[in-house]
């Protein structure tokens, strides 16, 4: 009875069986979990090209990219100046406007409020940018969060100017 604490052959067999069993169950469950992730056909729609030649200054268009709205805003001089005049320490999520808009005239960003995913309304709110009607987040003319529950600025997607009239998002 005294040598009961010493691991025996049987203890080893139990531990080994449980381990193999756990690995096997994990391997069997993984496909059932992973099937819910974005599938190949969804991922295939990775990029969108947009013609922006008809957008007037001060106006914006909204396009769908990967099922999400993307705002393409042609900003006026005042809007650019307003965005650039803001000091970084006034911002909840400090980002320079220069880093958000490669070409200051064009602001390209995912039009989804970073709070809970609603689409903010343009030319609204306390900072002349966007206002989310769902839970009251205010964004400035650079799409940065200024007031309300959203934690971060609106996301800038990967994009490039194919030529002066075409933007490729994604």
State the CB neighbour count (10 A cutoff) for residue 111: 24
State the CB neighbour count (10 A cutoff) for residue 166: 13
Q: Cβ of residue 48: shortest distance to other proteins, in angstroms?
A: 12
| Locus of tokens 């008809």 | 54
User: Residues 25-64: x/- map of binding to other proteins (CB under 8 A)?
Assistant: --------x--xxxx--x-------------------x-x
Alpha-carbon distance values, 148 to 28, 92, 135, 140 (Å): 44, 10, 8, 12
Active site residue 93: no
Q: Cβ of residue 111: shortest distance to other proteins, in angstroms?
A: 8
User: Contacts with other proteins: how many residues (CB under 8 A)?
Assistant: 29
Pairwise CA distance, residues 9 & 134, whole Å: 63
User: Residues 100-119: x/- map of binding to other proteins (CB under 8 A)?
Assistant: ------------x--xxxxx
Q: Read off the tokens for 51.
A: 């013609």
Q: Which residues of 119-156 are buried (b: 16+ CB within 10 A; e: fewer)?
A: bbebeebebbbbbbeeeebbbbbbbbbbebebeebbeb
Q: Cβ of residue 134: shortest distance to other proteins, in angstroms?
A: 6
Catalytic hit among 93, 115, 135, 138? 135
Segment near other proteins (CB under 8 A); pick from 21-29, 48-56, 98-106, 143-151? 143-151
Q: Name which of 72 and 83 has its Cβ closer to other proteins.
A: 72
Q: Cβ of residue 167: shortest distance to other proteins, in angstroms?
A: 18
Pairwise CA distance, residues 96 & 80, whole Å: 12
Residues making contact with other proteins (CB under 8 A): 33, 36-39, 42, 62, 64, 66-69, 112, 115-121, 132-136, 148-151
Instruction: Give me the active site residues, please.
Output: 135
């Amino acid at each position: 009875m005294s040598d009961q604490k010493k691991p025996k052959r049987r203890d080893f067999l139990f531990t080994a069986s449980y381990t193999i069993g756990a690995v096997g169950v994990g391997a069997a469950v993984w496909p059932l979990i992973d099937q819910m992730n974005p599938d190949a056909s969804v991922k295939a729609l990775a990029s969108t090209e947009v013609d922006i030649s008809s957008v007037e200054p001060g106006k914006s268009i909204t396009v769908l990219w990967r099922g999400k709205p993307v705002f393409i805003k042609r900003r006026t001089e005042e809007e650019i100046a307003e965005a650039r005049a803001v000091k970084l320490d006034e911002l909840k999520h400090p980002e320079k406007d220069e880093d958000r808009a490669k070409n200051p005239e064009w602001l390209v960003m995912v039009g989804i409020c970073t709070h809970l995913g609603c689409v903010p309304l343009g030319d609204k709110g306390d900072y002349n940018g966007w206002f989310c009607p769902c839970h009251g987040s205010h964004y400035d003319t650079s799409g940065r969060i200024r007031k309300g529950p959203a934690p971060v600025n609106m996301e800038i997607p990967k994009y490039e100017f194919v030529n002066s009239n075409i933007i490729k998002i994604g």
